[in-house]
Chains A and B, each alone.
Chain A
Amino acid sequence: MERQDVADAEPRLGDVLDESERWEPRPPRRGRRVFIVYLPGLEPIFWALFSAGGFVAAILIPAHVAILGIAWAAGWLPIGALSYGRVHHLVHNPLIKLYLSALISLPLYHWAHRFRFAIHHQFGIHGWKRLVSVATYGTAVAGTVLAVWVLLRI
């Protein structure tokens, strides 16, 4: 609490970095001879998900948006390309389900990680770390659960 009050009153770079380091793995202090295993927490997992989501967003989503969002409305797709029977049959395939759950959930983790960073380091809101984490990563986890639930119903 005390640290948060200080950060709110006068946000200095050192305070911001101290705060964010609490979420990151720390190397053992120099001069200590005891080997201590530092649990890195969830940060590396979210970093990996962020990176995977960034890759999916870069390489797969442009084609999806262009086809589903623009080509369909413009009438460039052949008749029946998005017919219920065809799409339902396609999505029924387990491999397609796996692909779609990754396509939906990974960009959500990308957003969560990036947005959490933006709140703390770009918008300059240094407090409520836990609340922001729960809200952003929670949204991503909820999106993943929803995607899997919907796909299992098809």
Chain B
Amino acid sequence: MFAAAFSVIMLLFLFALSRGPGAYRSFLRWLDTPWSIALCTIILVAVLYHTGTWFRLTTRILSIRLGRRTVSRGAVAAALVLAWIAASAVVAYFHIWF
């Protein structure tokens, strides 16, 4: 639900981008308002909660077999967290330094 709210924000962002520099700049100004910051904080908290529940769920339903042994739930959880850190780093890289 909150991830879908972010989809709407992203759609508006791209819509502003497609309409030219003026519309884009006014969208960035909207991102600066307390309303936007409050909304994004709520979305961030909710999405991080979703990350936690989703990863816990995944460790329960995913069983990876290597030969005769099954990868433990802890190892799956560690892999998910590492993947999350790596994905976040890539997103940050594209946003900031690319």
Contacts and interface: CB of A to CB of B under 8 A. Distances in A.
A61 to B, nearest CB: 5
B88 to A, nearest CB: 4
Interface string B1-30: 101101111110111011001001100100
B63 interface: no
A122 to B, nearest CB: 12
Contacts of B39: 69
Contact of B11 (A57, A61, A64, A146): A146
A110 B3 contact: yes
B87 A59 contact: yes
B11 to A, nearest CB: 6
A88 interface: yes
Interface string A10-30: 000000000000000000000
Interface in A64-115: 64-70, 72-73, 77-78, 81-82, 84, 87-88, 90-91, 96, 100, 103-105, 107-108, 110-111, 114-115
A90 B94 contact: yes
Contacts of B91: 60, 63-64, 67
Q: Which of B7, B40, B43 counts the most chain A CB atoms within 10 A? A: B7
A47 interface: no
Contact of B87 (A63, A84, A105, A115): A63
Interface of B: 1, 3-4, 6-11, 13-15, 17-18, 21, 24-25, 28, 31-32, 36-37, 39-41, 43-44, 47-48, 50-51, 54-55, 83-84, 87-88, 91-92, 94-96, 98
Interface of A: 53-70, 72-73, 77-78, 81-82, 84, 87-88, 90-91, 96, 100, 103-105, 107-108, 110-111, 114-115, 143, 146-147, 150-151, 153-154
